Amino acid sequence: MATIVSFLVTLLLLLVLSRLVNRWLMELLGYRWYRIVLWPGVVAHELSHLLGALLTFTRVTGFSVMPTPDSGGQTLGSVSHAATKNPVTLVLISVFPLLGGSFILWALATLLVPGAPSAAPDFTAPGSSSFSYLGSWWAFVLGTVKAFNPLAWQSWLFAYLSITVGAHLAPSNRDLGYTAAGFTALSILAVIVTWLGELTSDAIGELARKWLAGSLTFFLPLLSYALALLALVALGVGFAFTLKRLNERKVWW
């Protein structure tokens, strides 16, 4: 249960922080510069969708990382693929930017900032408590900040790419709709499997629970690492956004 709760909370925080950073950057930069400066994040986002489609053997019919007009104004990039009713396929393709972007952030930290921590704290680790977990997060943040070398171009490249990729981690509203539909179907399937397991043998339900726990445990460290870096990005971008808002005020008291 702790693994499931930790996984869901991590996903929610990643979604919220990524959306906030994206919105703040759009207001800070303006739409024109926003498209230019954050373009690497668009590429990472759409390539993740593409990889999700390829891994699920879904036929890809179109791919673009350039802004194109649509009914809502403009879309920064897109991946078109054959329609599917498979809930697993829907979920994987839709949320793969979270997984792909998280891996990219981890790889960037490993390659460009060698002294940075290689893993985020794990709440599900044996003997972990709330205080030790918070202490581990603080140590992670300090380790990442100390590893940043302001005299090295690699550190600045890492900071820039972390901002652009982090701002595009969250799936779009359309992707979230597909994800919700897929999760609903998977939840119904899980209930049916559990019910059949109770009628026949507990082995089926136990196998399903082990498969679910194993999958979450595999991806949770990667998502937690991305969340830690995204939190640092949100602090920096949020500070700049707050200064801009304060600077626009004509009356201070």
Range in 54-68, 72-86, 169-183, 233-247 the model is least confident about:
169-183
Can you give the pLDDT at residue 117? 82
Can you give the pLDDT at residue 22? 92
What pLDDT band is residue 141 in, cutting at 50, 70 and 90? confident
The closest of 125, 93, 87 to 224, measured between CA atoms, is 125
Can you give the pLDDT at residue 199? 55
What pLDDT band is residue 23 in, cutting at 50, 70 and 90? very high
What pLDDT band is residue 79 in, cutting at 50, 70 and 90? confident
Q: Are the CB atoms for 93 and 178 separated by under 8 Å? A: yes
Domain locations in the chain? 2-28+84-248
Q: Which residues of 183-193 are buried (b: 16+ CB within 10 A; e: fewer)?
A: eebeeeeeeee
